[in-house]
Amino acid sequence: MISMIWAMDENWLIGKDNVLPWHYPKDLAYFKNMTKDKAVLMGDMTYLSLKGYYKTKPLPFRKNYVANINDASYPDAIHIKDLFSFLKTTEEDIFVIGGKTIYQLSLPFADRLYITYVLKTHEGNVYFPSFDLSQFKLIEKRLEDQLIFAVYERISE
């Protein structure tokens, strides 16, 4: 199963330069809880961003897949060059954790979406790509402070 997880504000903002535009401890806790010990897939920009947060500590995932087109590889990650083949053929449960480019490329393969709606607007420069949410049905929704934690499942044809 391919799951995607992200947080976005009312304008679908997700990033500021190469970091998150906000600090919501409850969303960080939710992200950590959902992805802990899972296999995750990310682009190299997100990998480098996370490394900035974790510095000397290992990333908290069971397996890290990092997609990039050039041949840069990282000691704690499996390099994915052919993203489409990987997403089409993998039998693992994968969480796609960003960023914008990798979300956009992974959306057609996603079975589940974990979206945190930040009920505010923030400043930044990276937005989630527009897509058709009507292909998914809402299966869970929880409001906490200024955040809505929503889970969607793809509607099977």
Contacts with ligand NAP by CB under 6 A lie at 6-7, 14-15, 18-20, 42-46, 49, 67-70, 83, 97-102, 105, 126
Alpha helices in 2-127 (DSSP H): 25-35, 44-54, 83-89, 100-106
Residue 156: CB minimum distance to ligand NAP, A? 26
Asked whether the CA dihedral 12, 15, 25, 34 is positive or negative, the reply is positive
Residue 77: CB minimum distance to ligand NAP, A? 12
Structure tokens at 152: 């969607």
Burial of residue 99, with CB atoms counted within 10 A of its CB: 0-12 exposed, 13-18 middle, 19 or more buried: buried
Rg (CA), the chain: 15
Residue 157: CB minimum distance to ligand NAP, A? 25
Smaller CB separation from ligand NAP, 75 or 156? 75
Smaller CB separation from ligand NAP, 97 or 136? 97
Smaller CB separation from ligand NAP, 18 or 121? 18
